[in-house]
Amino acid sequence: MSNISFKELLQKIFFSKEEILRLLESQGDDRQLLFAKAAETKKEFVGNIVYFRGLIEYSNRCSKNCYYCGIRRENPFPHRYTMTDNEVYDAVKYAYKERYSSLVIQSGEINSQKYINQITKMLKEIREITNKEMGITLSLGEQSEETLQQWKDAGARRYLLRIETSSPELYSKLHPNDKLHDYEGRLNVLRLTRQLGYQVGSGVMIGLPFQTIENLADDLIFLRDFDIDMVGMGPYIEHSETPLFQYRDSLLPQTERFDLTLKMIAILRIMMKDINIASTTAMQAIDKMGREKALKAGANVIMPNLTPQKYRKNYMLYEDKPCIDEEADQCKNCLSIRVRLAGDTIGFGEWGDSKHFANRK
Ligand code: SAM
Ligand code: SF4
C-alpha cells in the first residue's frame, strides 16, 4: 500500500488498481477532494458545457434475455411497441427545432434484415430532415460488421454498447449462458465499432448482485485500456419481473449504489480527461437531484427523453424510471433548470463530439 497522501494521489496522472480502490473507498474530506478534483478536471479539459442528446427509445422488442432488464424477451408484461416512422421523425424535428444537434436511437436488440433496413432508411431520412446537421448515436445492441457498416454509411457517427461489467465471470451470472449472451462476442462488437470509425461508447452498471469493489476498479481500467470515447454508467436498479430480483436482499442500499456511481464518474473524469461522460437517467431514479450531482462529479452529457409519452411506461428497464409521464417539452425544461443548477451551460447547436475521439485521431 502506498503511503502518499490523498491529495498527492489525486495529482497522479496514472492510477494503479490499488489506487483506484483507495479512491472508490474514500469518505469524508477525501471524498470531497475527489469530487473537487473531478470538477476542476472537467472545467479544464471539456469546459462547463453540457451537451443534450435527444433520446428516442425506438422499440422495446428484444430478442435477448439479460437477467437484469425489464424489457427482456421473456418478460410477458410490457406491451411491446415499435415507434412509427412519423413518430420518430416528429421527435427528430422537435430536437432539430430545439437545436439539440444530437440524437440517440436506442432499442431492444433485433437482428432481422427487416429491422436493419428500417434503421438504415430512418437514418437517411433523419439526415434529410436535419440537413445533415444532427449527430446520430446508435444504441441497438450487438450487430454484425455488415450492419454496422451499413448504418455508418447511412449517417450514424457514434455507437453505444455497454459492456455491463468487465468481468467475464460476473457477466455469466447476469446473462443466460448461450451464444446470444457471450461476453467475448460483445467485446468483439465493441472492437468492431472502433475499427469501423465510430466514436465508441461503453459503460457498466454499478451495484449489481455479486459485484465487488475490485470489479468496479477493473471496469475503470477496462474503459481506460479500451481508450473509450464516451461513457454511460449508472446504478443497477432492480426490477421485480426479472430473474435478478431474487437477489435484492443482497444488494447495497440504493443510496450506496448512487454514491459509488458518483465516485466512478469522478475517478473516470480524472483518468480520462477529455471523454464524454453521460449523466444517466438511472441516477435520477434513486435521487431527485441525481443528474445534477452526476454533472458536478464530472459528467458532461445529458439525454432528454423524446420518446412519446404513451410508450414510456413500456420502456421500463428498471422500476421507478423517472419522467415517464412527461412530454418532450417538459422534459427539456426540467433538464435545462437542472443543468443550470449544476453550474453548467447547455451547448445548444453544437455536436459536442468526444474531444477524446478528435485528439486520438
Ligand atoms: N439493447 C441494447 C443493449 O443492451 O445494448 C440497448 C438498450 S439497453 C435497455 C441499454 C442499457 O440499459 C443496458 O446496456 C443496461 O446497462 C441498462 N439496463 C438494463 N436494465 C437495467 C437495470 N435493471 N438497471 C440499470 N440499468 C439497466
Ligand atoms: Fe434486451 Fe438490451 Fe434489455 Fe438486454 S439490456 S434485454 S439486450 S434491451
CA dist., res. 142 & res. 174, Å (int): 17
CA dist., res. 193 & res. 164, Å (int): 17
Query: 50 and 347 in contact (C-beta within 8 Å)?
Result: yes
Q: Decide the pairing of beta strands 135-139 and 158-160.
A: parallel
Which residue positions in the chain have pLDDT lower than 70?
1-2, 329-331
Could you say which of 1.20.210.10, 3.30.420.40, 3.40.50.150, 3.20.20.70 is the CATH number of the domain covering 14-360?
3.20.20.70
CA dist., res. 45 & res. 270, Å (int): 10
The closest alpha carbon to 159, from 222, 221, 229, 99, belongs to 229
pLDDT tens digits for range 164-216: 999 999 999 999 999 999 999 999 999 999 999 999 999 999 999 999 999 99
pLDDT value, residue 326: 75
Q: Is 226 helix (H, G, I), strand (E, B) or coil?
A: coil
Atom of ligand 1 nearest to the CA of 69: 20
pLDDT value, residue 269: 98
Atom of ligand 1 nearest to the CA of 242: 23
Atom 2 (ligand 1) nearest CA: 141
Atom 20 (ligand 1) nearest CA: 69
- CA of 68 from ligand 2 middle (Å) equals 8
Question: Which sign does the torsion angle of CA 252, 262, 103, 191 carry?
Answer: negative
Neighbours of 306 (CB within 10 A): 26
Is the CB of residue 95 below 6 angstroms from any atom belonging to ligand 1? no
Atom of ligand 2 nearest to the CA of 73: 6
Is the CB of residue 317 below 6 angstroms from any atom belonging to ligand 1? yes
Q: Which residues line ligand 2 (CB under 6 A)?
A: 62, 64, 66, 69, 71-72, 108-109, 141
Is the CB of residue 56 below 6 angstroms from any atom belonging to ligand 1? no
Neighbours of 65 (CB within 10 A): 17
CA dist., res. 262 & res. 248, Å (int): 21
Whether the pTM exceeds 0.85: the reply is yes
Atom 5 (ligand 1) nearest CA: 141
- CA of 7 from ligand 1 middle (Å) equals 36
The ligand whose atoms approach the alpha carbon of 242 most closely is 1
pLDDT value, residue 329: 65
- CA of 272 from ligand 1 middle (Å) equals 23
Question: What ranges do the domains of the chain cover?
Answer: 14-360
